[in-house]
Each structure stands twice: as C-alpha cells, then as structure tokens.
Structure 1
C-alpha cells in the first residue's frame, strides 16, 4: 500500500520591528505526516480450489437443510506493517447475491446458467488461529465501528453490506482492545456448502470472491 501525506502543516509567522518605517520577513514552516504502511497478503495468491465435485460423494450437512459440505481448505492471511500499528479487518463478498442462505457469514459461490445459487462458503479461524508478532492473540469483535470491543472464541468474516458497523481486531492475551503490532498471521479456514439438488458441479462454476480490507484505528 502506498503511503500518502496525511496532512501538511503551514504556519506563517510575521516579525515586525518597532518604528514608523517597520519591515517584516516571513517564516514558513511545512512538513508531512505519514501513517504507518501495512500490507495484507494471502498464501496461494488467495486461490481456493475445490476441484471437480461429484455430489453423490458429498456428506449432507446437519443443521443446514438441503446442503452438503465440502472439505475445508486453509490459507494463511498476513498483515505486515513497517511499524507497530493498530488496525481492524472487514470483508465484502463480491458474489453476495448468489449465497444460498441469508446469513452475514455466508458468502456466495456464484450461480448456475439458469440463475440458481450454487451454495455458499465461509472464511473463519479457530480460537488459537491468530498471532501478533509471533505471540498468541485473541480475536476481538466490535459492532459499533471500533468504539467498543469484546473477545470472541475465534471468529469469521461477515459481509460488510449486512453488518456495516462490524469490525474484527486482534489483541495480545489479556488486552481488551486491538494491540499495535507489526505482523498479524491468521489461519483462515474456507469451507463450502453446495445445494443438494444439483447432480454435478465443475470447479469452473464455483465463483466465490471476497475482498478483505484493512482499516487503521
């Protein structure tokens, strides 16, 4: 991420000498304040491939009617900053309208040529799935754009359009608000569910797409 000037300060000071024939000179003070630069990245270039899928080989998912579950895939999501920085994460599902269930953590997998939703996927992590600067970290959740935080036992991304005030942060053990850190590593588990009324789905039809955004605090 390119750093940009946050603000430019210009001050004008005028010195005036006493007397009828006073003269003056100007002093201009300028400077640029830049924020820390943080770069998010995903292992495998963010690609999750479920391959060729045969519906008869899948296991129906208890508790989610009419869906079968795919074996989960794991990625590593990382944030690297040039100095210790406090930040939060949000996510936008770019295929949100194709999710087969209307839940914030359900992201769409695309649609068939007839317009039928194929299913949905989630991107979550376990309670021990996060580290800050190689130290164990807790996941924090905010429902008010970061004004207050609560610890949660692991978590997952929610579609920002459904929960516009939600934020996910990370804190060193014992802290109650997001910690400043240079490196976050997060084990991201991506699981998929397909509708049971399809007989065969080629991997080319699976078209999930999510954007993860970093927000400075």
Structure 2
C-alpha cells in the first residue's frame, strides 16, 4: 500500500503594508482502492445453538460450560491478498470477562456470561498455516490459538508467524465454547435468553 506524506512548505513575505500575514493549513485525504475482493463466511450461517439449560444445572459459585460447538470460517478472494479479520463484539461490555465475547444481560441487568472462539486448524491455499493476531492495528503480529475482540486476526506461514501472508482461499476451524456466569450472580426466576453476537469484519492490509 502506497503511503502519501503531506509536504509542508513555508514562505516568507516582507511587506511594507501594516496588515497581518495570513496563515493556513492543508487537509490531505489518501487511500487505496484494491482490485481484489475477499468474502468471509461461517458454516451453519454462523449460528451456535446451546439449546435449553436448566438453572439448577448451573454451578452456584463458578462459571458453567454449557456447550462447545465446531464452526468453520472460510475466506475466498479473487486473487491472493493480505487481509485480516476484525472481531467485533456486538454485545460489548456484557461479558463476565473482558477477554471474550458477551452473551448479553439478564432482565435485571446482570452479565449473563461469555463465549470464546478457539482456533483449531488453519489452512491457507491448501497448506498448513498459523493463525496470528495483532493488538496494535497490524503493526506487530504473533501466533494465536484464539480470536478475541480488539485483536486483528490474520494468517502467517508455518515458519514465520510474525507477518501476514497473501492468501486466496483460507479456512479456519473454530471451536465456540459458551460459559454462563456463576449462578449466585444471576436472577434466574424467569427464562433468560443468551444473546451473544460477533461480527468478523474484513480489513485489507
């Protein structure tokens, strides 16, 4: 990606007129239009259904794992491209832990729990690769086994996890684990609906 630097030039004017010198500043708008288009998708329409869980089966003083479900992420591009996915928690601030994605609130305003996304396998153009993430908007990357809100998710080679590689066809096998907060922190006199939601936004690097 080309980077454009706005040049600042200064001039001096000596005037015999008693008027003040005018000053100004420039606004420069830059960007790149890429000819490559990539489309992400999730198996099963991106839906994880944990069914109905009885309140009496929840642990009173510990979080309770109520389900683990496989899900596959695929990204298909017109041509090899460097890209990342930005995981956005659509229920931000509702997770019982800040690291993972929230499940929404109870009617009493209590944080219901969270779900995590573990990455089991990564295949880039038919070759084993590694998932990598960045918490500084792509300046640095490291290998990861999970996807978390606030961390860009990309793909590195099996030998160098520090740099995103260009990929045309990517698959990542996810395991989505759902956990409910300790039962003694929740009001469970009526049915409570889990409402976890995350968006994986495409970003071209």
Common fold by TM > 0.5: yes
Q: Deviations over 1:6-52 (max 9, x none)?
A: xxxxxxxxxxxxxxxxxxxxxxxxxxx64200000001111110001
Q: Is 1:70 aligned with 2:66?
A: yes
Q: Map 1:71-150 onto structure 2 (within 5 A).
A: 71-101=67-97, 103-104=98-99, 106-126=100-120, 129-150=121-142
1:71 match: secondary structure = strand
Tell me the CA shift for residue 186 of structure 1.
0.6
Counterpart in the other structure of 2:39: 39
Richer in strand (by share)? 1
**Residue of structure 1 aligned with 2:170, choices 163, 172, 184:** 184
Contact 2:83 2:154 in 1 (8 A): yes
State the superposition RMSD in angstroms: 2.3
| Structure 1 match to 2:52 | 52
Does residue 173 of structure 1 match 2:152? no
Which of 167, 180, 191 is the matching residue for 1:194?
180
Q: Which runs of 5+ in 1 are unaligned?
A: 1-32, 161-165
2:147 aligned residue (146, 157, 161): 157
Q: How far apart are residue 200 of structure 1 and its match?
A: 7.5
Counterpart secondary structure, 1:96: coil
TM-score normalised to the size of structure 1? 0.70
Aligned length: 170
Against the structure 1 CA distance between its residues 174 and 200, is the aligned structure 2 distance closer, same or farther, given a 3 Å change threshold? farther
Which ranges of 4 or more aligned residues in structure 1 deviate by more than 3 Å?
Answer: 55-58, 198-202
CA distance in structure 1 between the partners assigned to 2:70 and 2:179 by the alignment: 15
2-side partners of 1:42 and 1:188: how far apart? 10
Paired residue secondary structure (2:48): coil
